[in-house]
Amino acid sequence: MDRGFTQRTLAVRLGCCYPQVGRWEQDRSVPRPARWPALEALLGPGLVPEQPDLAGWIRTGRLRLGLTQEALALGAGVDPRTIRNTERGDYRPSRRTIRKLRVILK
Protein backbone atom coordinates (compact mmCIF):
# COMPACT_ATOMS: atom_id res chain seq x y z
CA MET A 1 0.00 0.00 0.00
CA ASP A 2 1.66 3.19 -1.14
CA ARG A 3 0.81 6.36 0.79
CA GLY A 4 3.78 8.34 -0.50
CA PHE A 5 5.97 7.84 2.57
CA THR A 6 9.64 7.16 2.19
CA GLN A 7 11.13 4.61 4.57
CA ARG A 8 12.84 7.47 6.37
CA THR A 9 9.62 9.51 6.76
CA LEU A 10 7.67 6.51 7.95
CA ALA A 11 10.42 5.65 10.43
CA VAL A 12 10.40 9.18 11.84
CA ARG A 13 6.62 9.10 12.28
CA LEU A 14 6.81 5.72 14.00
CA GLY A 15 9.85 6.53 16.11
CA CYS A 16 12.07 3.80 14.74
CA CYS A 17 15.09 3.58 12.44
CA TYR A 18 14.53 3.54 8.69
CA PRO A 19 16.47 0.31 8.04
CA GLN A 20 13.88 -1.40 10.24
CA VAL A 21 11.11 -0.22 7.91
CA GLY A 22 13.07 -1.74 5.01
CA ARG A 23 13.27 -5.07 6.83
CA TRP A 24 9.50 -5.01 7.32
CA GLU A 25 8.98 -4.34 3.61
CA GLN A 26 11.30 -7.22 2.69
CA ASP A 27 9.54 -9.58 5.15
CA ARG A 28 12.80 -10.03 7.03
CA SER A 29 11.16 -8.97 10.30
CA VAL A 30 7.76 -7.90 11.62
CA PRO A 31 6.81 -4.84 13.65
CA ARG A 32 6.48 -5.17 17.41
CA PRO A 33 2.87 -5.36 18.61
CA ALA A 34 3.01 -1.81 19.96
CA ARG A 35 3.74 -0.46 16.44
CA TRP A 36 0.68 -1.93 14.68
CA PRO A 37 -1.87 0.71 15.77
CA ALA A 38 0.39 3.52 14.53
CA LEU A 39 1.11 1.66 11.29
CA GLU A 40 -2.59 1.22 10.58
CA ALA A 41 -3.27 4.85 11.51
CA LEU A 42 -0.65 6.05 9.01
CA LEU A 43 -1.10 3.51 6.23
CA GLY A 44 -4.73 2.48 6.62
CA PRO A 45 -6.56 -0.54 7.97
CA GLY A 46 -6.01 -4.05 6.76
CA LEU A 47 -2.29 -4.32 7.42
CA VAL A 48 -2.62 -6.88 10.19
CA PRO A 49 -2.98 -10.25 8.48
CA GLU A 50 -6.38 -11.74 9.25
CA GLN A 51 -7.24 -15.41 9.54
CA PRO A 52 -10.81 -16.71 9.75
CA ASP A 53 -10.27 -18.96 12.76
CA LEU A 54 -10.14 -18.32 16.51
CA ALA A 55 -6.34 -18.14 16.53
CA GLY A 56 -6.32 -15.51 13.79
CA TRP A 57 -9.10 -13.48 15.40
CA ILE A 58 -7.19 -13.30 18.68
CA ARG A 59 -3.87 -12.40 17.03
CA THR A 60 -5.43 -9.78 14.74
CA GLY A 61 -7.36 -8.16 17.60
CA ARG A 62 -4.33 -8.19 19.87
CA LEU A 63 -2.07 -6.56 17.28
CA ARG A 64 -4.65 -3.93 16.34
CA LEU A 65 -4.70 -2.89 20.00
CA GLY A 66 -0.91 -2.98 20.21
CA LEU A 67 -0.91 -5.65 22.91
CA THR A 68 1.70 -8.29 23.55
CA GLN A 69 0.56 -11.81 24.31
CA GLU A 70 1.54 -11.20 27.93
CA ALA A 71 -0.54 -8.01 28.17
CA LEU A 72 -3.59 -9.72 26.68
CA ALA A 73 -3.17 -12.65 29.05
CA LEU A 74 -2.94 -10.29 32.01
CA GLY A 75 -6.10 -8.48 30.95
CA ALA A 76 -7.98 -11.75 30.49
CA GLY A 77 -6.64 -13.23 33.71
CA VAL A 78 -5.00 -16.22 32.03
CA ASP A 79 -1.50 -17.59 31.73
CA PRO A 80 0.46 -16.14 28.77
CA ARG A 81 0.92 -19.70 27.50
CA THR A 82 -2.84 -19.84 26.93
CA ILE A 83 -2.67 -16.94 24.49
CA ARG A 84 0.52 -18.20 22.83
CA ASN A 85 -0.81 -21.74 22.37
CA THR A 86 -4.21 -20.50 21.18
CA GLU A 87 -2.65 -18.22 18.57
CA ARG A 88 -0.57 -21.15 17.33
CA GLY A 89 -3.70 -23.28 17.10
CA ASP A 90 -2.43 -25.77 19.69
CA TYR A 91 -5.08 -25.03 22.31
CA ARG A 92 -8.79 -24.18 22.46
CA PRO A 93 -9.56 -21.97 25.48
CA SER A 94 -12.68 -22.37 27.58
CA ARG A 95 -15.86 -20.47 26.76
CA ARG A 96 -15.25 -18.30 29.80
CA THR A 97 -11.81 -17.31 28.53
CA ILE A 98 -13.19 -16.62 25.05
CA ARG A 99 -15.84 -14.34 26.58
CA LYS A 100 -13.13 -12.42 28.44
CA LEU A 101 -11.10 -12.10 25.25
CA ARG A 102 -14.16 -10.82 23.35
CA VAL A 103 -14.58 -8.01 25.88
CA ILE A 104 -10.94 -6.96 25.50
CA LEU A 105 -10.66 -7.41 21.73
CA LYS A 106 -14.00 -5.94 20.61
Q: What is the pLDDT of residues 5-51, one digit of tens each?
A: 899 999 999 999 999 999 999 999 989 999 999 999 998 888 887 88
Distance (Å, rounded) from C-alpha 53 to C-alpha 50?
Answer: 9
Per-residue model confidence as pLDDT tens digits over 89-106: 999 999 999 999 999 998
Helix 54-65, helix 69-76: angle, nearest 10: 100
CB 10 within 8 A of CB 19: no
Distance (Å, rounded) from C-alpha 30 to C-alpha 97?
Answer: 28
Q: Where in the chain is the domain with CATH 1.10.260.40?
A: 54-105
The domain 54-105 having CATH identifier 1.10.260.40: the answer here is yes
